[in-house]
Amino acid sequence: MHPPYRQDYVSISLTGQGSGGYNNSKQWRRQSCWRKWKQLSRLQRSLILFILLLLFICGIASYPTVTEHLRGLTDEEQDTDSNSVLKPVIPHVLPEPIKQDHPALPEQLSQRKLSNRRGPPVLQNRLQRKGNTSDTVAEDKPAGDQKEGEEEGVISWPGVVIDTEQATEGTKEKEDSPANPEAKSSKESEVSRLEAVREAFRHAWKGYKDFAWGHDELRPISKSYSEWFGLGLTLIDALDTMWILGLKEEFEEAKAWVATELTFNKNVDVNLFESTIRILGGLLSTYHLTGDSMFLDKAKEIGSRLMPAFNTPSKIPYSDVNIGKGTAHPPRWTSDSTVAEVTSIQLEFRELSRLTQDPQYEAAVAEVMNQVHKLDGKLDGLVPMFINTNNGQFTHQGIYTLGARADSYYEYLLKQWIQGGKKENQLLEDYLQAIEGVKKNLLQTSSPNGLTFVGEVSHGQFSPKMDHLVCFLPGTLALGAHSGLAADHMDLAKQLMETCYQMYVQMETGLSPEIVHFNMHQGSTRDIDVKLADRHNLLRPETVESLFYMYRFTKDHKYQDWGWEILQNFNKYTKVSSGGYTSINNVRDPEYPSPRDKMESFFLGETLKYLYLLFSDDTNLISLDQYVFNTEAHPLPVWPSTA
């Protein structure tokens, strides 16, 4: 038997170049496996088939997630290797670098691949994709890589389509013009940008009129509304904006609603602070701009209905008032009011007393300021966040911030001094002491690029946390310098203005989050971190507010350009096609910013108003020597001198 076996072996080696042996072996293995399979019981075979099917289904389900994760890891490695923070985007078309309006930071010397979905091409010299190490960075999509039925420049969200190319007329003109955009005259640019703001307002107003008329706030995605006080907050907040923007038709229809529909005889609890700055402030401002006494009559009514809030043992007002019953109370969970709220109603009540010749309004708010002035518990002029309505003392001491619950206290110190003709020295002294306290305790610089920021102190420990709300400070400092205070206030304003701008451009959508944390450790690769819970944008006005002040006082056009970028990114990522704008949950995800389905009233009352004033070169349009803005952007007159 041995010789034939050797002959077969030789035959296999010579004839198939290995293929015959391989096939025979494969066939043998197949037959062997089949015999073993047949030897299994039916239950065993069914169980194996079930497990294989389950693994197959799980593989299909997890495939997109795995590939996206791997893609994100690849992008993160690219970001890490680039070791960059503030790098300009490579423009789509322009072959030459675009000039920066401010000196390039050291980290801007290298280039890396960045998404082309950050914003319109004209902005991309300033906009960069920068993420936390844990972030998934979206990849660029080729031009032809859209899903079926998806148009280029459109973000599809459940229940709504947002047109990212539906920016502004000014944007389209700038992109489509065959001429160099820089060749336009400054006047043409001004007109274009002003019209862009008007168009944004009309679009927001359309949504409010169609889906939320007479109600507090628009929910643009669900095409409905939300109520807070049931007093038409958005409409009243927007009255003076429409007047300033010259939108006569929209103003007249809103005025008719105020005259015939607005009533304060309602059994409803309202927040003293919010009602004062939005409703009382809006009505007083509109009265001064138009001279229509109907608005003053409405202001008198709401002002008198808010007065029960001051009926407390300490004369520090309660936070909530029932304007129908004439009763007031603190929140259910505490007897405290926030310091910012009780010290940021003075401009409005003082003006109401001046107009009505009734001193009760001014007396009530002046008592609050006098008490806060004398209180212990301050840190170099910085105040805690809470004050007790029973004993009039600060509570929760040891925490100092220029963010929520304290911010507008500092703003109103300066603005009351200006409103009263710069005669009330106690207000000025408290303001100047507080600014020195900020410099001493809250001011720090980030790493690696040395951005100046305002942090917080909690029981002696410094935290590099900064709210977007703090971005009111550059404008307030600039206003103080313009009003004769120290020139170094303007220097600090410029530094903080740059920081607030970077809070926008370092985000993938070009929109700032609600809160940021700054890196202070040597060796950091980026200046700004954003926690997951802080990535939302509420269409807030503070940065464009300060840009307005900075441009009005310096005439540096970079501040206009920065505001223009912000407006275009609002249009790209928050504009809802059916009308209105929505706040978003994630400024770090340009592919899906995640809409919150709410348009805050201050978007019309403040954000668009300040953008319009920023783009205007008419210094007499709400002259800052004749008007002072309340904290809801409603201009009230500086009192004439009686000397």
DSSP label at residue 224: E
Whether the Cβ atoms of residue 565 and residue 89 lie closer than 8 Å to each other: no
Strand ordering across the sheet containing 465-467: 465-467, 515-518, 528-529
Cis before 308 (ω within 30): no
Cα→Cα distances 55→60, 65, 67, Å: 9, 16, 18
Would residue 176 show up in a list of annotated catalytic residues for this protein?
no
Residue 326's nearest CA partner among 393, 387, 245, 270 is: 270
Within 10 A of 301 (CB to CB), how many other CB atoms are there?
A: 17
- From the list 135, 542, 545, 589, the catalytic residue is 542
Helix (H) or strand (E) segment spanning residue 578 = none
Active site residue 542: yes
39 contacts: CB under 8 Å, gap ≥ 6:
none
Check 407, 508, 589, 597 and give the catalytic one.
407
Is 498 a catalytic site residue? no
User: Cα(22)–Cα(12) distance, rounded to whole angstroms?
Assistant: 10
The SS3 of residue 389 is coil
165, 199, 274, 292: the catalytic one is: 274
Are 455 and 396 within 8 A, CB to CB?
no
DSSP one-letter code for 469:
G
By residue count, the chain amounts to 643
Q: What angle do helix axes 542-554 and 608-615 make, rounded to 10 degrees?
A: 20
CB 244 within 8 A of CB 629: no
Half-sphere exposure of 231 (CA within 13 A, CB side): 27
Which one from 320, 341, 514, 632 is the annotated catalytic residue? 514
Which residues does residue 394 pair with via DSSP β-bridges, in sequence order?
A: 387
Output b/e per residue, 236-258; b: 16+ Cβ within 10 A. Answer: bbbbbbbbbbebeebbeebbeeb
Q: Which residues are catalytic?
A: 274, 407, 514, 542
